[in-house]
């Protein structure tokens, strides 16, 4: 139709979550989570926050976080979010930096235990709106 505006191209959905949280180095060295230390008061947080919740400092230094932590608790989920394949496993991982990370766990259901050591890995967590997997941080058993 003459004069009609060209249809706006739909922006592709994300396939990586999220550069502020996870670094996957191009040189093949191991991935790491990104902590943020407040330049004003020194508090370390993950994920990145708009303001330091303690002193409202606005500037942070990025600190690579430990790749290994302790699995505080976990759940084998058989009923999940709409559109997500089940079962999947979620867990809380406590890092030595006094931070707790909520993440999906890579492994089999009924295989994890509280207080076991787990390590960071990278893998698909869900499909995006275009049906392409989104890559993010996950944890797995050490040496698995």
H helices then E strands: how many in the chain? 0, 9
| 108 binds another protein, rule: CB under 8 A | no
Establish if 98 lies at the interface with another protein (CB under 8 A). yes
Site for another protein in 41-80 (CB under 8 A): 45-47, 53, 72-80
Tokens for 7? 């249809």
Member of 23, 63, 67, 92 binding another protein (CB under 8 A): 92
Q: How far apart are CA 45 and CA 5, in angstroms?
A: 46
Near another protein by CB under 8 A: residue from 57, 66, 67, 94: 94
Spatial CA neighbour of 135 closest among 46, 13, 48, 29:
13
Could you tell me whether strands 22-23 and 133-141 are parallel, antiparallel, or unpaired per DSSP bridges? unpaired
In a 3-state reduction of DSSP, which class is residue 44? Answer: strand
- Asked if residue 32 binds another protein (CB under 8 A), the reply is no
The residues binding another protein (CB under 8 A) are 17-18, 21, 45-47, 53, 72-82, 84, 88, 90-92, 94, 98-100, 102-104, 109-110, 114-115, 125-126, 134, 136
């Amino acid at each position: 139709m003459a004069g009609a505006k060209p249809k706006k191209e739909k922006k592709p959905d994300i396939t990586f979550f999220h550069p502020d949280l996870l670094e996957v180095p191009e040189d093949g060295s191991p991935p790491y989570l990104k902590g943020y230390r407040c330049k004003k008061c020194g508090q370390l947080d993950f994920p990145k926050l708009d303001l330091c919740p303690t002193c409202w400092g606005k500037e942070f230094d990025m600190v690579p976080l430990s790749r290994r932590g302790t699995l505080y608790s976990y759940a084998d989920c058989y009923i999940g979010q709409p559109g997500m394949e089940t079962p999947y496993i979620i867990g809380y991982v406590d890092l030595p930096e006094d931070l707790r990370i909520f993440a999906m766990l890579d492994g089999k259901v009924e295989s994890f235990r509280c207080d076991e050591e787990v390590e960071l890995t990278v893998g698909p967590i869900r499909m995006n709106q275009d049906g392409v997997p989104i890559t993010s941080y996950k944890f797995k058993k050490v040496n698995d």
